């Protein structure tokens, strides 16, 4: 099953979800597919992607896996070309993929870890925007939804490296939104998922009981609602749904 013949409010639409092998990305891919979108799921873990794809198909949805490393700039271009050849457009780009560098004082930030986070969280975001802009403009109402963190706007001790990447991430998305709002139907939204039960949060808060924070599905359902209902350009919100 690899076409856009599903039924539902998003039937006929093509969505690309980065970081969709697990966590919020995987849940978002499933939620969008449940609404009828054909979802292209990307990530580095092939087995995990296959598991997400199988779950989508078993639920009656359609999906295509595209294993890739977003830190390889050329891989983004290749994926954009493949989607252009197969579907000729992209209706929704959801940027979930992100890397959390080591939590440490700014004076002790590890260059290698910081550089990897900058590459995935910032440089790959610019590559995605550039690579998929032509396809999003071919959609009747192209949308980009980027997942951020509160530390991007509200600095926190020891979170400087990650916060800096998310501040840059937000700036790129909002700048792009302002650049295209008068010349296309593309709309940009930035979503702060808040405390969510993910592997990244478990690394950041190793002593936390994961059952005390909401599941990824709560965030995914809100993203799917936005995809269906639409939103004003430069929309921002925090998902506060409890578990």
- Catalytic residues, by residue number, are 162
Does residue 146 lie within any of the structural domains? yes
What is the residue-wise DSSP string for 33-89? HHTT-EEEEEES-HHHHHHHHHHHHHTT-EEEEEE--TTSHHHHHHHHHHHHHHTS-
**Tens-digit pLDDT string for the chain (243 aa):** 345 557 899 999 999 999 999 999 999 999 999 999 999 999 999 999 999 999 999 999 999 999 999 998 799 999 999 999 999 999 999 999 999 999 999 999 999 999 999 999 999 999 999 999 999 999 999 999 999 999 999 999 999 999 999 999 999 999 999 999 999 999 999 999 999 999 999 999 999 999 999 999 999 999 999 999 999 999 999 998 654
Does residue 4 lie within any of the structural domains? no
Does residue 121 lie within any of the structural domains? yes
Does residue 168 lie within any of the structural domains? yes
Q: What CATH code is carried by the domain that includes residue 24?
A: 3.40.50.720
Identify the domain containing residue 155 by its residue range.
14-238
Does residue 54 lie within any of the structural domains? yes
Does residue 243 lie within any of the structural domains? no
Distance CA 170, CA 147 (A): 9
Does residue 20 lie within any of the structural domains? yes
- Per the structure, the count of domains in the chain is 1
């Amino acid at each position: 099953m690899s076409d856009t013949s599903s039924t539902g409010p998003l039937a006929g639409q093509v969505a690309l979800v980065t970081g969709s092998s697990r966590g919020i990305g995987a849940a978002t891919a499933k939620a969008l597919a449940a609404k009828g979108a054909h979802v292209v799921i990307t990530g580095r873990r092939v087995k995990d992607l296959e598991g997400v794809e199988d779950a989508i198909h078993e639920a009656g949805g359609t999906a295509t896996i595209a294993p890739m490393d977003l830190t390889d700039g050329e891989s983004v271009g290749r994926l954009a070309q493949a989607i252009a050849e197969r579907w000729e457009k992209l209706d929704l780009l959801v940027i979930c993929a992100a890397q959390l560098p080591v939590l440490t004082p700014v004076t002790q930030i590890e260059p290698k870890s910081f550089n990897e986070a900058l590459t995935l969280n910032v440089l790959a975001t610019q590559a995605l925007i550039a690579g998929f802009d032509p396809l999003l403009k071919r959609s009747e109402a192209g949308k980009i939804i980027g997942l951020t963190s509160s530390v991007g706007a509200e600095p926190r001790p020891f979170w400087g490296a990650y916060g800096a990447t998310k501040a840059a991430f937000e700036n790129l998305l909002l700048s792009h939104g302002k650049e295209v709002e008068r010349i296309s139907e593309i709309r940009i939204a930035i979503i702060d998922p808040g405390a969510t039960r993910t592997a990244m949060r478990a690394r950041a808060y190793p002593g936390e009981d994961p059952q005390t924070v909401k599941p990824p599905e709560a965030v995914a359902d809100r993203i799917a609602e936005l995809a269906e209902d639409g939103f004003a350009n430069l929309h921002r919100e925090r998902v506060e749904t409890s578990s």
